[in-house]
Amino acid sequence: MKLNGSEIIVECLKEQGVDTIFGYPGGAILNVYDALYKHSDEITHILTSHEQGASHAADGYARATGKVGVCFATSGPGATNLVTGIATAYMDSVPMVAITCNVTVPLLGRDSFQEIDIAGVTMPITKHSYIVKNVKDLAKTLRNAFRIAKEGRPGPVLVDVTKDVTAAECEYTPRVPKPVERITASIKEEDIDKAVTLIKKSKKPYVFVGGGAVISEASDELKKFVEKVDAPVCDSLMGKGAFDGSNERYTGMLGMHGTKTSNYGVSECDLLIVVGARFSDRVTGNAKKFAKNAKILQFDVDAAEINKNVRTDAHVLGDAKEILKRINDKLDNQDHSDWMEHIKSYKLDYPMRYNRDILNGPLIMEKIYEITNGDAIITTDVGQHQMWAAQHYKFKEPRTLLTSGGLGTMGYGLGACIGAKVGRKDKTVVNIAGDGCFRMNMNEVATATRYNIPIIEVIFNNHVLGMVRQWQDLFYGKRYSATVLDDQVDFVKVSEGMGAKAYSVDTIEEFEKAFKEAIELNIPCVIDCHIDREDKVFPMVSPGAAISEAFDREDLNNKK
């Protein structure tokens, strides 16, 4: 059948099972929106307040559901406003297809109104970027975009379409997408055997879990593997929920704001088994001193991650779920009871301590966990509140912590929260934000109220840029340059002005009442929590130090 380019875009999206798009229209993409109008009963379009919000919403939708997130933007500034969200998805391996439109082919390269080479701009932050100048290439390009976004290590793909292509006609033949196969051809039997041998020889193994275990849906295999190895488990920020955070083997996050138990344990282990993690600098601290007593065994789908930041003694390349399956089939149950008791003693000696008498981030997170029974999806922005969420909410399932780990994008959380709730209507979805982050994209509250998307926005309001100020306090002689936010902005009034129900709370009792009411109301709600600006995230590892040198407030007080 003969269709124009805009109709082909919509039909290709339907082929791929797309049910939701987040976007913002404009002149260059107007033909596509006109075609989309005719299919509004099949594909829901969420008009965000800003294109950045659309990209973060598509990202949150993808992380929460495991499907490809889709966002639309017009040419020029519309397209460039997606860039931060695309980069966020790229750093955290999130499958996304961003579709933008550009000026007509004759106007390309002439500095035309709202013209930008968005395919060139996004080349370093996408798995692939396309510009489509011929309508005959359109369907194939879109199908390739979805395949590339999903296969192997997932990530964002950009497809830029010139406006004349969206109007031109050509023959279109529907196709059923081929399922994306797991990467297994690279898994070598000798690598599996070497891994099994290393595990059998180990006396003090530790399992470190990253985001790859979430992406590959390896939780069941991981649990079985950990039981067979008889090892403690820690995770990265992106790996939260791949291994049940309430399991007695779990010791907390590893790295700069990881638990002392995990940091000390990894520093003492003789074998570190790394499942789908990339050895971020925030995990390793001083890489030369990282796990220096251990052999490193890494499982990863991306060959570029092997020996990139930390040298391995052995590795298996391929899909984490399949790797774990094959090792489980060959591995007998190990016994490391003395090692497990040693780690258990660390958990008793180094619990997460904080003041329970005043309203603060850790206490709020524990209350949210208690009220939701650990069954919510938590999105976060970036900063102290992000770390408190990771430390004090026990993530029992994958795809329940959505946060910008690699890029560290302030303003990410609210858009992601909206996307996650659209994709997982069955879940309570809560965004944890600092007041600095909330300012960046708080206009997306209007998106939530426009569509009555019942998200809960919790603001940890300390009137400072908390994490930056923490560094200034500890390492910059208390010179608080441009980090104090003492002004007249009233988040409750702003939120109410955008149509949300809003609360201001100063005690944990007030928070509990507001949070429970927000769940019951099932409408967009904002809770402004006033906390002390002197609160800090502990434990902490100083920049350049080994993770074994983690310190907390008690350590600082003992030095005085």
Of 96, 238, 387, 467, catalytic: 467
Of 15, 114, 330, 512, catalytic: 114
Bridge partners (DSSP) listed for residue 338: none
In which residue are the tokens 């009555």 written?
452
Of 127, 163, 396, 536, catalytic: 163
Query: Which of 357, 417, 361 is closest to 391 using CA atoms?
Result: 361
Of 38, 113, 516, 517, catalytic: 113
Cα dihedral value 24, 53, 62, 435, nearest 10: -170
Measured CA distances, 511 to 114, 379, 490 (Å): 46, 18, 17
Q: CA-to-CA distance for 402 and 93, rounded, in angstroms?
A: 12
| 163 carries an active-site annotation | yes
Q: CA-to-CA distance for 457 and 409, rounded, in angstroms?
A: 17
Angle value at C-alpha 397, between 396 and 399, nearest 5 degrees? 135
Measured CA distances, 130 to 68, 134, 166 (Å): 17, 12, 15
| 114 carries an active-site annotation | yes
Of 7, 11, 22, 51, catalytic: 51
In a 13 Å sphere around the CA of 508, the CA atoms on its Cβ side amount to 16
Which residues in 340-373 are b (16+ Cβ under 10 Å) and which e?
A: beebeebbeebebebeeeebbbbbbbbbbbebbe
Bridge partners (DSSP) listed for residue 131: 160
Q: CA-to-CA distance for 416 and 464, rounded, in angstroms?
A: 23
Question: CB–CB of 370/394 below 8 Å?
Answer: no
Question: CB–CB of 60/89 below 8 Å?
Answer: no
Query: Could you list the active site residues?
Result: 51, 113-114, 163, 467
